[in-house]
Structure 1
Amino acid sequence: MKFTDKTNSHRTFTKDGYLVVPATLSKIGVYDYHAKELGLNEDGFKKVARTEQSLFSDSTIQSFDGVPITLGHPADDVTAKNWKTLAVGTVRNVKRDGDMLAGEAWIYDENAIKAIQDSGIQELSCGYRCDVQKSTQPTADYEMLPMVGNHVAIVANGRCGKSVKLADGEKPMSTTRKFLDALLSVFGTKLTDEQAKEVEEKEKAEDGKEKPESDNKTPESKAKEKPTTEEPEKETKEKASVKDEALTAEIAQLKAENQKLKDEKAKADVESVRATTLADAKVSFANVTFADNATVQDIQRQAVVATGIFTQDEAAKLSDAELNGAYKAAKATAKKLNDKAIGDVLLTDHKPENTGLDFNTYNQQGAK
C-alpha cells in the first residue's frame, strides 16, 4: 500500500504544520499468505481472496476510520496504553473508491513528515484482524470475512508493492529482506528494487544449497539443466561479495546518520531543560541574577547558595540528584520568604489611622 499521489502535488499542510495526504488503504484481489499467517499448522503459501463483502462492508469501513498511523508495524495492536508511544497520525474519511479502500492520512509527527517528504517513504500497510473461510472462488484457497482495522503502518514495502495499497506486509519476502527492510525503515529509507532483488536471489541460492535437489526442481527442469563449471560459480560469488560489501557500507552510513540525528535531538532536549530551569529560577529567585548561558547545575547551585541551604563549597560537592533535591527545597524556602514579605506589606499598607480626639485642643476651640 502507498499514498495515492506519486508527487507532492496533492499533499497539503494545515496551518499547524500537519501533513494531509490522500491514501489508498487496501484493494480487493487474491494475495499470497503464508499458511502460518492464517493459523494453519503447515508450510507453504495459500491464496487468500479479499472480496467486496470483506473490504467494503460498513463494519470494515467504520473500523478503519480514525485508526492511528504508525511508523512500521508494532509488535502488538495499538491500544490506549501504547497509542501515545506508537502513533504518528491518524486515518480519516475512509470510503470506497472503485475496487480500493481509500482515505486521508493525517501525519502529525515531525519526524514522520520528514521521512515522507525527504526520504521517499510512502507505502502503507494495514494492521487488522479478520477471520477467513474456505473460498468459493476457484482462484483462491480462502477468503476473508469483514476486517476490523487496528492501525495503518508506514512501511518500506506493502504487500501489493508500489502500485496498490493493501494489507499487512508485501507478498512473502525472505527473512534477510524482512530484516533489512525493518532496519532501513528506522533510518527513513528502504532497499532499492535492485538491492531487494539481489538479497532475494542470494537467499534463494542459499536455500537451494540447503534443500535436496528433488525439493526444488522438477524432473523436466533437471533434464534441461546444464552442468555448471567452477569458474562461473566463483565469479558469481565474487560479484555477490562486492554487492554485499556495498550494501554493508550503505547500512553503516545510514546508522551513522541516524546516530547524528539522535545526538542532535539529545542536545536539543538538554537545551530545552536548561531554558525551562532558567525561566523557573528567575521567577522563583527574583533577587538573584542568573547568567543566560548558565547550565542547569550552575543555575541550581546558585539558587541553593543564595537561599543559604548550602555554602558554595558544599553545593559544589553535591551530585546531580542531590543538587536537584536541594534546588526544590530552595524554591520552597524562597516561596515561604516571599509569602511572608507579601504579608508584611499588606499589614503595613492597611494600618488604621489614628482617629482619637485631642480633647485639649477640642476644649480650647470650644471655649472660643
Structure 2
Amino acid sequence: MKFTDKTEQAKTQRTITKDGFLVVPAIISKVGVFDYLATELGLKEDGIKKVARTEKSLFSDETIKSFENATLTIGHPKEDVNAKNWKQLSVGVVRNVKRVGDELTAEAWIYDENAIKTVQEQGVEQLSCGYDCDIKPSTVQDADFEMSPMIGNHVAIVAKGRCGGEVKLADEDKTFMSKTEKFIDAFLGAFGIKLSDEQKKQIEEDEEQGKEGKPEEGKKPEDPKAKPEEKNEEEKEKKMADADLLKRISDLEAENKQLKDAKANTEGEQKRVELLADAKASFADVTFKDSATVREIQESAVISTGIFAKDEAAKLSDEEMAGAYQAAKATAKKLADRALGNVLLKDSNPAATSFDFNSYNEGAK
C-alpha cells in the first residue's frame, strides 16, 4: 500500500552551497499514532482511522536505507519515481537519513533553481514522504492499525503536515483542512503551487469573518430593524475580502506560470545544447550552427544521410523528425564503420617481403 506523509521544513540552519544548492535540515517522520482517511488506507468506507507508526516500522535498517538518496519532488507524482520519469520529476535528494530519538531526520538537498525559489520566497516549507507500506491490526493502544516497515520512494515538497509542527518535512494531513482551504489547495495544486502557513491562516480568518455575517441555526436570517447603512457596510467588507482573496490566488497563479515558463525554457535550451553536441559527434562531415534550433539540427543530420530530401524532411512532424534523426545516427555509424573496416583491411594485408636469416647470421659473425 502506498502512502504520502507531509511535514514542515526546518526554518533554521539552511545553507547555500558554492554551486547555489539549498541544504535544509529536516525531520522526515516520527513515532506516534496519526489520523488517516479510511480511503487512504484502501478501505471501502468513510471516516478517519488511527494508524500507529512504531519504532519497528520507522527505524528498521530497510526503512532508513530506502530513504537514503530518495528523490525530492515538487508535489507527489501520479506514479512512483522510477528510472523512466526521474529526470523530469527530481528537484533534489534526501541525504544522511538517521534516527534521532523518536524522529527520523535527514538533509534535504534542493538542486533545482525554481524549487529553491518556491521554498525561500514563497514560504512553501513542508515535505511529504512517499512510501510503500502494509497495514495490519494494531497492537498499540488507541490505534486501529499499525504500519509494517516503510519502504521510501520519494519525498515531495507539499502543503500541510500530518505529524504536527514539531515534525519538519513529513506527513500529509488531509483530515482537518477547511473546505475553502481544501478547494484552494487543490486548485493551486494543479499549477504546482501550495499554500503557505500565512496564506492558510488568512483564509481561516476570512472564513471567520464570513461566518460572522451568516445567521446561526435557529435565528432569523436578518434583523428587519437593522440600519441599511450597517448592512451595506458589512456587504462591502465581505466583497472586499473576497476580492482580496481572488487577487492573491491570481497573483500566485501568474507567478507560478512565470516559474514554469522559465523552467521550460531552461530545459528546452539544455535539450538543444545536448542535441547539438550529439550531432557534431555523430555527423563529423556536417556543419551545424551553434545557434541552430532542435528542428534545424535534426533536419541537417537527416538530409546529410539521404534518408529524406530537403522538401520531404520539411513535411515531417517534430515527432517524425526526432525518429528520423535516430535512424540517421544509425546510418551514419554504419557508414563510418564500413569506411573504417576498408582501411583496416588494406592495412592488414601489406606487400609480401622475404628475409634471409642465414645471410643475416653469417654477416654478424
Task: Tell whether the structures are fold-level matches, with TM greater than 0.5.
Answer: yes
Q: Could you report, residue by residue, the CA deviation over 1:57-90 in whole angstroms, capped at 9, with x for unpaired residues?
A: 33343375344565446678x5879994777644
Aligned position for 1:297 = 295
Q: In structure 1, how many angstroms separate the alpha carbons of the residues matched to 2:308 and 2:226?
A: 83
Write the distance in 2 (CA, Å) between the matches of 1:248 and 1:59. Answer: 43
Q: Which residue of 1 aligns with 2:204?
A: 197
Structure 2 match to 1:106: 108
- 2:217 is matched with which residue? 213
User: What is the RMSD computed on CA atoms of the aligned residues?
Assistant: 4.7
1:264 is displaced (CA, Å) by 2.2
In the alignment, what sits opposite 1:217? none
* Contact 2:30 2:163 (8 Å CA) reproduced: no
Q: What residue identity is the alignment partner of 1:264? A: A
CA deviation after TM superposition for structure 1 residue 282, in Å: 1.9
Q: Give the TM-score taking structure 1 as reference length.
A: 0.67
Q: Which runs of 5+ in 1 are unaligned?
A: 137-141, 215-221, 358-368
Structure with the greater alpha carbon radius of gyration: 1
How many aligned positions are there?
330
Instruction: Indicate the residue corresponding to 1:6 in structure 2.
Output: 11
Determine whether 1:175 maps to 2:172.
no
- How much does 1:169 deviate? 0.9
Check conservation: 1:25, 1:124, Cα contact below 8 A.
no
Task: Work out whether 1:58 is the aligned partner of 2:62.
Answer: no
Amino acid aligned to 2:208? E
Pairwise CA distance, 1:294: 1.4
Distance 1:235 1:83 in 2: 54
User: Percent of counterpart pairs with the same letter?
Assistant: 37
Deviates more, 1:293-302 or 1:156-165: 156-165
Aligned 8 A contact 1:57 1:146 in 2: no
Q: Name which structure has the greater RCO, CA cutoff 8 Å, separation 6+.
A: 2
Q: Does 1:229 align with 2:226?
A: yes
Classify the secondary structure of the residue corresponding to 2:59.
Answer: helix
Query: Which of these residues, 16, 21, 26, is aligned with residue 25 of structure 2?
Result: 21
Rounded to whole Å, the distance in 2 between the matches of 1:10 and 1:327 is 45
1:213 alignment partner, SS class: coil
Equivalent residue letter for 2:106: E
User: In the alignment, does 2:193 pair up with 1:187?
Assistant: yes
Q: 1:21-170 to 2 correspondence within 5 Å?
A: 21-23=25-27, 25-26=29-30, 28=32, 54-62=52-60, 65=64, 66-67=66-67, 71-72=74-75, 84=86, 89-90=93-94, 93-95=97-99, 97=101, 101-107=103-109, 110=112, 111-124=114-127, 142-143=142-143, 146-148=146-148, 149=150, 153-159=156-162, 162-164=165-167, 167-169=171-173
The one-letter amino acid paired with 2:233 is: E
Cα 1:203–1:269 change in 2 (3 A) is same
